[in-house]
């Protein structure tokens, strides 16, 4: 007896998408970004799928990186926010896990670290305008010098991150601030996220960091992954567990945010916001039932939502409703809801079983 909902992950699509992304930047090493449990796709499964071909992986948590090492992943691993406490620097060095060094306090940890089991691999992070992490461009020369003077620390890369590579602002301002100082260090450069990989070849340099495109979605508004030659990797679907016939004036769900103005037939679907389907989805958010387009009706509840079956006579109890996936681009659902594909793919909750194929 299982609740009829599942999220299917197409690992061969991720392989295809990795190649598509890497082929945009031939000559660069492509670090597959698998933070947030590989954007909800399962970081271990994704890493294992790409183990033969990825040049490296980037993530946030040491714990996740150690799990990959335990599972036999030998590729370079980089923690994008670096160590969160001093103790982590020792484990990172011991397991060959590189990390961004973005602030003075991390420099201090490294300066009195004693890395007996291998050097700490530092990626010096520059704040080129996003103002989250990184040294100011004018501080970079000194920080690089300090790192180079430390015993058992290897300064391998200089990096930055773009705030607007996906929109009309682009990367020009940040690139202008970053590039001269990055070049001056003489280090390999890593700057490009997915949007820059696809749109700004001059930022590719030595190491790219594609994330969202690996999972088959476009970082650009008004476009889907298909437009970039990508294949969506995630399909969220659930079955109809009840059918309701509404007459004009009848409501559905909490808050009566939908009132029928004609006779309609509704399917009640075993998916709600506790599964990660956004409660903010308005009436008419796209779904697909047996290949036929329909939309949500009324407010999404914790464990259920309603879809319109009026025009799909053959659909009933047990019919499968695709909430997003190949038939219903995640980007379109996100646009309906007023968010981005990233948030929806990361938001699928643990109670939804993952099926890999």
- The verdict on 210 binding ligand PLP (CB under 6 A) reads yes
The only residue of 78, 193, 203, 294 in contact with ligand PLP, by rule CB under 6 A: 193
Is-contact 159 124, C-beta < 8 A?
yes
17-36: contacts with ligand PLP (CB under 6 A): 33, 35
Within 8 A by CB and 6+ apart from 107, the residues are 101, 143, 146, 147
Hey, which bits of the chain come out as E strands?
5-9, 29-33, 56-59, 77-79, 97-101, 120-125, 153-159, 189-190, 207-208, 234-246, 264-269, 286-289, 292-297, 305-308, 320-324, 354-356
Strand, coil or helix: what is 66?
Answer: helix
What does the DSSP assignment read for 28-48? Answer: SEEEEE-HHHHHTT-HHHHHH
* Piece in contact with ligand PLP (CB under 6 A), picked from 147-155, 208-216, 261-269, 326-334: 208-216
Region from 66-74, 211-219, 323-331, 345-353 binding ligand PLP, contact rule CB under 6 A: 211-219
Q: Which residues contact 26 (CB under 8 A, 6 or more apart)?
A: none
35 is catalytic: yes
Q: What part of residues 226-285 is at the interface with ligand PLP (CB under 6 A)?
A: none
211 touching ligand PLP, by CB under 6 A: yes
- The single-letter DSSP state of residue 171 is S
By C-beta, is 208 or 309 nearer to ligand PLP? 208
C-alpha to C-alpha distances, 45 to 8, 40, 272, 316, nearest whole angstrom: 13, 11, 26, 34
Residue 224 contacts ligand PLP per CB under 6 A = no
Nearer to ligand PLP, 58 or 281 (CB): 58
132 marked ligand binding residue: yes
Residue 262 annotated among the catalytic residues of the structure: no
Chain residue whose CB lies nearest ligand PLP: 211
Rounded least distance, CB 7 to ligand PLP, Å: 19
Q: Binding residues for ligand PLP, how many (CB under 6 A)?
A: 12
Under the binding rule (CB under 6 A), the answer on residue 161 touching ligand PLP is yes
Structure tokens that stand for 81 in this block: 């926010």
Question: Which residue among the candidates 35, 215, 277, 342 is catalytic per the annotation?
Answer: 35
Least distance to ligand PLP from the beta carbon of 33, Å? 4
**Is 302 annotated as a binding-site member?**
yes
**Which one among 29, 30, 54, 80 touches ligand PLP, defined by CB under 6 A?**
80
For CA atoms 45, 50, 51, 57, give the dihedral sign: negative
> For binding to ligand PLP (CB under 6 A), which residues are involved?
33, 35, 80, 161, 193-195, 209-212, 219
Q: Which residues define the annotated binding site for substrate?
A: 132, 302
Catalytic sites, residue numbers = 35, 254
């Amino acid at each position: 007896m299982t609740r009829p909902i599942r999220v299917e992950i197409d690992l061969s699509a991720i392989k295809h998408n990795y190649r598509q992304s890497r082929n945009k930047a031939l000559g660069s090493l492509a670090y597959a970004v698998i933070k947030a449990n590989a954007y909800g796709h399962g970081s271990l499964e994704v890493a294992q799928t790409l183990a033969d071909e990825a040049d490296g992986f980037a993530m946030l948590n040491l714990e996740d990186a150690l799990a990959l090492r335990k599972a036999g992943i030998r590729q370079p691993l980089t923690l994008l926010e670096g160590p969160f406490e001093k103790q982590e620097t020792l484990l990172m060095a011991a397991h060959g896990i590189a990390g961004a060094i973005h602030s003075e306090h991390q420099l201090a940890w490294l300066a009195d670290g004693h890395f007996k089991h291998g050097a700490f691999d530092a990626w010096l992070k520059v704040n080129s305008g996003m103002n989250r992490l990184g040294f100011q461009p004018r501080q970079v020369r000194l920080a690089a010098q300090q790192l180079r003077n430390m015993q058992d620390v290897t300064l391998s890369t200089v990096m930055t991150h773009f705030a607007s590579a996906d929109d009309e602002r682009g990367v020009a301002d940040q690139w202008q601030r970053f590039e001269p100082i990055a070049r001056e260090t003489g280090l390999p450069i890593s700057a490009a996220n997915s949007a820059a990989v696809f749109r700004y070849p001059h930022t590719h340099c030595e190491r790219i960091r594609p994330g969202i495109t690996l999972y088959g979605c476009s970082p650009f508004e008004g476009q889907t992954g298909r437009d970039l030659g990508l294949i969506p990797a995630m399909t969220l679907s659930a079955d109809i567990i009840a059918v309701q016939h509404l007459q004009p004036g009848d409501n559905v769900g909490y808050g009566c945010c939908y009132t029928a103005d004609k006779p309609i037939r509704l399917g009640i679907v075993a998916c709600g916001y506790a599964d990660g389907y956004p409660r903010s989805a308005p009436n008419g958010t796209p779904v697909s039932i047996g290949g036929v387009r329909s939309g949500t009706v009324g407010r999404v509840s914790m464990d259920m939502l309603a879809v319109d079956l009026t025009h799909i006579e053959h659909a009933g109890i047990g019919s499968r409703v695709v909430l997003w996936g190949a038939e219903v681009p995640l980007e379109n659902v996100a646009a309906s809801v007023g968010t981005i594909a990233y948030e929806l793919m990361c938001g699928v909750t643990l109670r939804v079983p993952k099926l890999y194929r």
